[in-house]
Amino acid sequence: GSLPSELGNLAKLEQLYIDSAGFSGPLPSTLSKLTKMKTLWASDNDFTGQIPDYIGSWNLTDLRFQGNSFQGPLPATLSNLVQLTSLRIGDIVNGSSSSLAFISNMTSLNTLVLRNCRISDTLLSVNFSKFTSLNLLDLSFNNITG
């Protein structure tokens, strides 16, 4: 079933682990109130729609959205998540393509997985020399040149 909208009332929530929990449908708009969120693992469910813009206003250090049914493009607001150390998004099923530019200031990343995310871009759009902590990079199954 759907993720309960009441979760948005947990104003102090910093970590949410709901991998393989059987959830489906769009993420509720009430989750926008979870501004203290640092870790969200929500892989292997059947979430649909676009990844919500409000996630870009959270204080995330670790975000995992793999194996869902999200549509593109990836929200531009993700570029605000400059404190991320781990970003794993995969399996964007349809919708518009995205560029890599949104990761340009995420230089604290040590893990970056954007696998099968409908990215159409060139590697030159990001200065990877700034990513000195990066130890895992997976850009498989996209349309990236360079």
pLDDT tens by residue, the chain, 146 residues: 999 999 999 999 999 999 999 999 999 999 999 999 999 999 999 999 999 999 999 999 999 999 999 999 999 999 999 999 999 999 999 999 999 999 999 999 999 999 999 999 999 999 999 999 999 999 999 999 98
Report if residue 145 sits inside a domain.
no
Domain presence at residue 143 = no
The helix/strand/coil state of 91 is coil
Q: pTM of the prediction? A: 0.97
The beta strands (E) that lie in the chain are given as 15-17, 24-25, 39-41, 46-50, 62-65, 69-72, 86-90, 94-95, 111-115, 120-122, 136-138, 143-145
Q: How many domains does the chain have?
A: 1
Find the radius of gyration of the CA atoms of the chain.
Answer: 15
133 CB neighbour count, 10 Å cutoff: 11
Domain carrying residue 73: 5-138
Please report whether residue 146 resides in a domain.
no
Residue 10 lies in a domain: yes
**Assigned domain for 47 exists:** yes
Distance CA 42, CA 20 (A): 8
144 inside domain: no
